[in-house]
Amino acid sequence: MKPAGGFGASLKNDYRRFYGTMAGFGCHGASTAKEDNYCEIDPTVVDKYGIPVLRFRYKWGTDDVNQAKHMQETVKNILHTMGGIPLMQPAGPENNYGLDKPGKGIHEVGTVRMGDDPKKAPLNKWGQAHDCKNLFVTDGSVFTQQSEKNPTWTILALSMRTAEYLIDQRKKQNV
């Protein structure tokens, strides 16, 4: 095998020979929602418009870490079965199997979640505020759990559901 590095015709040829021969895997997972992962208004920091920013408290749970471990093992198997040569060592338990910092790959959902218990959730299961019957929320903030997928279709589906409920309630003169 050639030593790493080099220059000249040989290096140029290697660039072309190995172009397109590398593959990378990126895995997405759903982080299990937990009550002690939350955001709140930061009392000390504002953005460039002078509006206070959000600050987050977020820690990975065991399920999240195990998911990443499973991903590493799956990717390793795929690579092996394809006859690939690993160019990197897989991440191990010392850095949560390569899990990014929370917030590195996100969709902004949640915070005004749905739930039966008014003490724990501002909205009921229809996206209607528990304490204000004429207030409905129809965007990503009603989520109770984010999946590993993009949220748009779920937002649309929930909005449609809320709209139908709203029409029904209107007909019954409840709102």
Please report, as ranges, the residues that interact with another protein according to CB under 8 A: 3-9, 11-13, 15-16, 19-20
- Taking the complex as a whole, how short is the minimal distance between the CB of residue 3 and another protein, in angstroms? 5
H/E stretch holding 137:
none
Q: Return the half-sphere exposure (C-beta side, CA atoms, 13 A cut-off) of residue 122.
A: 11
Give the Cα separation of 150 and 140 in Å (integer).
Answer: 11
- Taking the complex as a whole, how short is the minimal distance between the CB of residue 20 and another protein, in angstroms? 8
By C-beta, is 1 or 132 nearer to another protein?
1
Structure-token match 């939350």, residue found: 38
- Taking the complex as a whole, how short is the minimal distance between the CB of residue 18 and another protein, in angstroms? 10
By C-beta, is 8 or 50 nearer to another protein?
8
By C-beta, is 23 or 160 nearer to another protein?
23
Could you tell me which residues come within 8 angstroms of residue 6 by beta carbon, excluding any fewer than 6 positions away? Answer: 14
Give the Cα separation of 110 and 98 in Å (integer).
Answer: 25
By C-beta, is 12 or 34 nearer to another protein?
12
By C-beta, is 19 or 153 nearer to another protein?
19
- Taking the complex as a whole, how short is the minimal distance between the CB of residue 11 and another protein, in angstroms? 7
- Taking the complex as a whole, how short is the minimal distance between the CB of residue 54 and another protein, in angstroms? 23
Contact by Cβ (8 Å): 137, 112: yes
Closest CA to 165 of 127, 121, 112: 127
Query: What SS3 class is residue 129?
Result: strand
